[in-house]
């Protein structure tokens, strides 16, 4: 069976189903479709209808790419279409529950939906991030009831490593970490991904591959939290932390630059450390670094909140009358994704202080694709900038006209170091 599948991979006559067409699944579908037939599947009918009308709901993906995909491939809500697929890649969300434990309902649901249509010779790959052991617990064990995994059907895990907003790294240029339940699984999966990615790293086990993804993001979380704490200390000393980092970054070794901000956002960095802690607790251990990073992240949001409230108090501006503009809704610059956004968290904190007149401006969003509670400006003008008592730079999109904002805003709290310090600009 293994040799047959590898022969089919080499023949280039493959059909691949991608389950979940979000920020991971859609780019992956488009990449694979350049060389093989793809069936993109999602339970969201509105999303499928949108894609079938040749439109992209992700800003960095052009409508033309979706249009080209639709010429030879399909988007559907029908899971029965996976029957003809050689490879099935699961890219569904893995959020957190209220108790901070992983919500695996999307993975479980995806497996249940594909299971009736599986057959011998197919390969199932999980790309959704979760705790080490997820692939075995929720895919291998379930499929083993009807198939011999590793002989009749093949299973593996490969972490997605997309970095939204970066134009210097195309998806296919990022080294792809792959793993398999068994050696035949690994051989098949590594051969498969070699068709689309320039460099492949073969992990020795599912657990190593799953853990490596968490390690990547815990590393970033800890370091971002660390530099955010340094920002708070520097502020108390009256020192510009961004100038400190510039100086430290001149060292040619032993120092990796991280920039501070108003907190940590996105789906991965705030969430993945908690996945790791969840797994660690099963072995009677809790990561102090993970807990500390989460605490500092909360303190960083509070730090910006206090900067805002302090300014209002010093200028005798009553909270309920204050007009504040938050620049940036996305969780990081140059993207259209507001999941776990520091900007929204800050908005929620300020709202609890009875600061109600809060508006946002973010060129990557339109009024029809933001949460209902968000009041979004269509554009920035000299007139509407002057209406606000305070402008807070939360997300530093490169497309912002910083000179224009600096010229027309009354006062600015800069959380990203994009403005030079002056009587008008406060570091936040």
Selecting among 15, 91, 185, 268, the annotated active-site residue is 268
Tally Cβ neighbours within 10 Å of residue 131. 23
- Residues 6 or more apart whose CB falls under 8 angstroms from that of 219 comprise none
Query: In terms of Cα–Cα distance, which of 240, 257, 259 is closest to 248?
Result: 257
CA of residue 103 relative to chain centroid, distance: 16
Tally Cβ neighbours within 10 Å of residue 327. 27
> 374-398 as b/e, with b when 16 or more CB fall inside 10 Å?
bebbeebeeeebeebbbbbbbbbbe
Give the whole-angstrom CA distance, residue 87 versus residue 232.
49
Give the whole-angstrom CA distance, residue 1 versus residue 122.
10
Q: Say which DSSP state 176 is in.
A: E
User: Which string of DSSP letters, residue by residue, matches 79-140?
Assistant: GGGGGG-SEEEE-----B-TTSSB--HHHHHHHHHHGGG--TT-EEEE-S---TTHHIIIII
Q: Identify the three-state secondary structure at position 191.
A: helix
Is residue 268 annotated as part of the catalytic site, yes or no?
A: yes
Taking the alpha carbons of 317, 318, 321, 324 in that order, is the dihedral positive or negative?
positive
Whether 2 and 190 have beta carbons less than 8 Å apart is answered as no
Give the whole-angstrom CA distance, residue 22 versus residue 88.
16
Query: In terms of Cα–Cα distance, which of 358, 349, 354 is closest to 318?
Result: 354
Give the whole-angstrom CA distance, residue 343 versus residue 267.
14
Instruction: Report the catalytic residues.
Output: 268
């Amino acid at each position: 069976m293994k040799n047959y599948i590898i022969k089919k991979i080499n023949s280039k006559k493959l059909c691949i189903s991608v389950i979940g067409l979000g920020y991971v699944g859609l780019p992956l579908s488009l990449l694979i479709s350049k060389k093989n037939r793809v069936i993109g599947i999602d339970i969201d009918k509105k999303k499928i209808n949108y894609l079938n009308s040749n439109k992209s709901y992700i800003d960095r993906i052009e409508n033309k790419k979706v249009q080209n995909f639709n010429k030879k491939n399909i988007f559907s809500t029908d899971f029965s279409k996976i029957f003809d697929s050689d490879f099935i890649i699961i890219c569904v969300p893995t959020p957190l529950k209220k108790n901070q434990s992983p919500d695996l309902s999307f993975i479980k649901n995806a497996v249940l939906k594909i299971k009736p249509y599986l057959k011998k010779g197919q390969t199932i790959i999980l790309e959704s991030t979760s705790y080490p052991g997820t692939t075995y617990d929720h895919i291998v064990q379930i499929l083993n009831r009807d198939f011999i995994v590793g002989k009749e059907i093949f299973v593996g895990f490969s972490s997605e490593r997309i970095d939204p907003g970066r134009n210097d790294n195309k998806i296919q240029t990022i080294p792809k970490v792959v793993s398999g339940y068994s050696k035949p699984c690994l051989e098949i999966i590594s051969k498969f991904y070699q068709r689309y990615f320039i460099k492949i790293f073969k992990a020795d086990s599912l657990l190593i591959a799953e853990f490596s993804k968490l390690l990547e993001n815990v590393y970033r979380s800890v370091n971002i939290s660390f530099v955010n704490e340094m920002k708070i200390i520097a502020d108390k000393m009256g020192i510009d932390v961004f100038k400190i980092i510039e100086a430290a970054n001149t060292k040619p070794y032993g120092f990796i630059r991280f920039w501070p901000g108003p907190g940590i956002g996105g789906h991965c960095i705030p969430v993945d450390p908690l996945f790791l802690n969840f797994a660690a607790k099963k072995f009677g251990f809790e990561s102090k670094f993970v807990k500390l990073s989460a605490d500092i992240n909360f303190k960083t949001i509070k730090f910006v909140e206090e900067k805002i409230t302090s300014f209002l108090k010093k200028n005798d501006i009553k909270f309920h009358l204050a007009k504040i503009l938050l620049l940036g809704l996305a969780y990081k610059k140059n993207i259209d994704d507001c999941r776990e956004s520091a900007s929204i968290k800050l908005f929620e904190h300020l709202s609890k202080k009875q600061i109600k007149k809060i508006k946002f401006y973010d060129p990557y969003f339109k009024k029809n694709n933001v949460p209902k509670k968000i009041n979004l400006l269509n554009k920035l003008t000299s007139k509407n900038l002057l209406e606000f008592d305070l402008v807070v730079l939360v997300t530093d999109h490169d497309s912002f006209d910083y000179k224009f904002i600096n010229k027309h805003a009354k006062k600015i709290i800069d959380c990203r170091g994009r403005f030079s310090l002056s009587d008008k600009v406060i570091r936040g």
